[in-house]
Structure 1
């Protein structure tokens, strides 16, 4: 016969509840004993019955095990503060941050010339001095940026001048080569003209008579 699954809820019948308690208690004590023997673990088990009767099991000493447990618990609490304490600390930090933000917003409005109605003469003088220091720092930074830009433009101008000189030199060499080529071409044309001055007139007859032919202009 297959045993049905026990529902995890309080047994309403008092007799059944007492019988179940006795069986489960003995089984739990047996398992605690087996765990301590098989795994060499320090086990301490405390059970109070519904009527307040105490049942316990300790593999070594119940008192020493409880002291060890309390010491371990204190160490954990010292290293890891309780969540409630952490929440209080976080709330305090949040409130402090909000207060600082409000102060910064107020200071910012005053620097912009707003909300000055409640300021005293000393506060106004401090604001004026602070603004003067800020303007001095800003002007110094602006001059530094101007100098950096001027140096950059000078470097760019030098680079362009060098590139221009290189291109001019290259263009001069090309012009010189082109002139040399033109001179060679003129010389070649003159030679061709001289060759073309050779008599090419057709004459029929023996060579002797050709030499005796009178010159004709």
Structure 2
């Protein structure tokens, strides 16, 4: 992409504020889910913040689409992550990936290797996705008949075993919404785990191959 294009300039100016807004969104949502004993004013304020940030992301999405000059369906298919974070608000912290690209574009060459970047992306995405999924599932499961997820700690434990594809079965969602979230987290867990293991294996193979090439031939 041309760094002087209007779209590139918009991305460089908006990515860091939008990532900060995504963290505020996550904090406001966590407050609404976990802080049930606070004054109603603060809960309403959190709701206003959530709506305002959603509008900001929707406006950013519309601006990027217009500046790209592409047809809408083609833009959607080519910007899957942007589309997902607008449709599914809790995934907005995953914008850490385009944020890093924008920062590196300002500084020149990336400081981390490809394998290190993939592992870093996957690790940060796993933490953010696990926390968001635990919040969303706990909100649906709390107080449901027959629920095994009694506390937020249970939700975090469930999210960890779900994303790691372990699945002990000690805690399982019983609501329809909770199970829907679980399906998404299982799919993301498989993808993130595959990205980490694949990148680590490729790095090991590259390292061993380079070491073998550098050894002097046997006499």
Q: Into which bin does the TM-score normalised by the smaller protein fall? A: under 0.3
TM-score (norm 1): 0.23
Higher relative contact order (CA 8 A, sep 6+): 2
> Relative to total residues, which structure has the larger strand share, 1 or 2?
1
> Relative to total residues, which structure has the larger helix share, 1 or 2?
2
